[in-house]
Structure 1
């Protein structure tokens, strides 16, 4: 009898499907992202980042949204505030709006009637729309299909409640190779020497559709934790009213002693 029980169990095991083989492959996050690139659609995000300096840590809390077009991001907005020490009250909340070739920055220290400063390149200057159109402290931009593909290559993946978790490490050199214009603008040129080989460790979560819901990364000098939500929501990001905007050049031409006006950190740029 015992022999027959053993044979029956062995037969059942042989007939049962391999549990690992039966699990469906996770959706491709790169293709899932590309399907989101539709006019006037977008995604919102929240982010906590930290930057380490000489015996200090600055934490920045941010939130915003990114508007897509047919080939990727076309505009973004973000509000953020920084905290230097634990328990310290956040600093003044600052708003940013980014469109191709323009960055609008809010400030309470502008001449009467003005609320925004616009930064524009000089005429004839080539404008790289990315990374500026994705406002984030993340060195890794998971909203660029080429960058997302690069970091996922060889990454470990496992199923988690609601989707999948990927994790791995990528070098600065690999990122530059995947998106040269993006990182040339971000790093100010070629990544050479030891920086090219430095690694950024990361973890990335996706939902059941393969869309990114969270990215955590640790890099040289800090790290960031970004959460994405509301994929596919209708989104259009308007520019500020023209009469509330002054150019960066106009700002520098303002007299320093004007009542209620302070150039602050820009004073040395004159």
Structure 2
């Protein structure tokens, strides 16, 4: 009889423990940070699509689109591969196909590059860029150049906020003023993002000015039933009358992703970009363009 009672007690404890375990598992997956960290497995990742619009006196206009992937390792983002393109045509920049051997030829190359896709591969701290503005100035035997601490020229016109970074996601959720049914929303300053996000620091390509540090960005994040990001929208002012809005979708969480560095013999150094010395390099010109 004692053995029988002991057996029933053990069975009862087993049954009672099942809901407790299930409850614990549910609690873990209901936390967006834990859900994100659960994706950090070598060779897996997520796909993203960014659409950038400028809102101004002429209404909303799509100005750029970027597609790509983030590849994870066991501790977070290991690599990324994104291709972005401005929604402009050569004719929009006054290009007529004619070139010269003067400064005009250099500017023509610069503007021609603006109409072409720019691919940016980042692996840990190394960044490789192909196409776009820089592509027009590469040596004839190179198709890439290395330019660290950046996400490319068009990265500055794409999504600054990376919710695949736990530190960034945690900061956003901690500042959310709207929390309901998988939807979070709020505001964050560029200064706050700069402190917590390596992606943001690479996107702006340098230190914040005191003015930019105060810029406030509105954001809205939509999570799926798995508590992983499905969509993120961000908006911030650009000048006195315009605003930039970036809409990002996330698909294929947990899919197999491979990001590889380009062949070493195809990679040029920044100093190998071919300028005639009569005008500033494109990355210098960009820094002088008023916002």
Does the CA contact (< 8 Å) of 2:168 and 2:197 recur in 1? no
**2:171 maps to which of 150, 174, 179:** 150
Paired position in structure 1 for 2:250 = 228
Deviation at 1:245, TM superposition (A): 2.0
**2:83 maps to which of 79, 82, 85:** 79
Paired position in structure 1 for 2:206 = 188
Deviation at 1:266, TM superposition (A): 5.4
Paired position in structure 2 for 1:117 = 145
For residues 13-28 of structure 1, what are the structure 2 equivalents within 5 Å? 27-28=30-31
Aligned-CA RMSD value: 3.8
Does the CA contact (< 8 Å) of 1:58 and 1:84 recur in 2? no
**1:241 maps to which of 263, 277, 281:** 263
**2:190 maps to which of 162, 167, 172:** 172
Provide, for residues 204-236 of structure 1, a one-character-per-residue CA deviation record: whole Å limited to 9, x for no partner. Answer: 111101000110010122121010111111112
Q: Secondary structure at the match of 1:152?
A: helix
Paired position in structure 2 for 1:98 = 122
Instruction: Determine whether 1:141 maps to 2:162.
Output: yes
Does the CA contact (< 8 Å) of 2:162 and 2:200 recur in 1? no
Does the CA contact (< 8 Å) of 1:66 and 1:77 recur in 2? yes
**1:68 maps to which of 61, 66, 72:** 72
Structure 1 residues 146 and 223 mapped into 2: Cα distance closer, same or farther (>3 Å)? Answer: same
Deviation at 1:71, TM superposition (A): 1.3
Q: Secondary structure at the match of 1:146?
A: helix
Cα distance in 2, alignment partners of residues 223 and 36 from structure 1: 28
The number of aligned residues is: 224
Does the CA contact (< 8 Å) of 1:40 and 1:68 recur in 2? yes
Structure 1 residues 248 and 196 mapped into 2: Cα distance closer, same or farther (>3 Å)? Answer: closer
Does the CA contact (< 8 Å) of 1:47 and 1:224 recur in 2? yes
Deviation at 1:81, TM superposition (A): 0.7
Paired position in structure 1 for 2:16 = none
Cα distance in 2, alignment partners of residues 181 and 81 from structure 1: 23
Q: Secondary structure at the match of 1:148?
A: helix
TM-score in terms of structure 1 length:
0.68
Cα distance in 2, alignment partners of residues 168 and 140 from structure 1: 13
Cα distance in 1, alignment partners of residues 180 and 225 from structure 2: 12
Paired position in structure 1 for 2:21 = none
Does the CA contact (< 8 Å) of 2:190 and 2:213 recur in 1? yes
Cα distance in 2, alignment partners of residues 244 and 113 from structure 1: 7
Deviation at 1:119, TM superposition (A): 2.1
Task: Pick the structure with more helix per residue.
Answer: 2
Q: Secondary structure at the match of 1:149?
A: helix
TM-score in terms of structure 2 length:
0.64
Structure 1 residues 81 and 132 mapped into 2: Cα distance closer, same or farther (>3 Å)? Answer: closer
Provide, for residues 142-192 of structure 1, a one-character-per-residue CA deviation record: whole Å limited to 9, x for no partner. Answer: 112122112112431232xxxx22222223344345x17665664733664
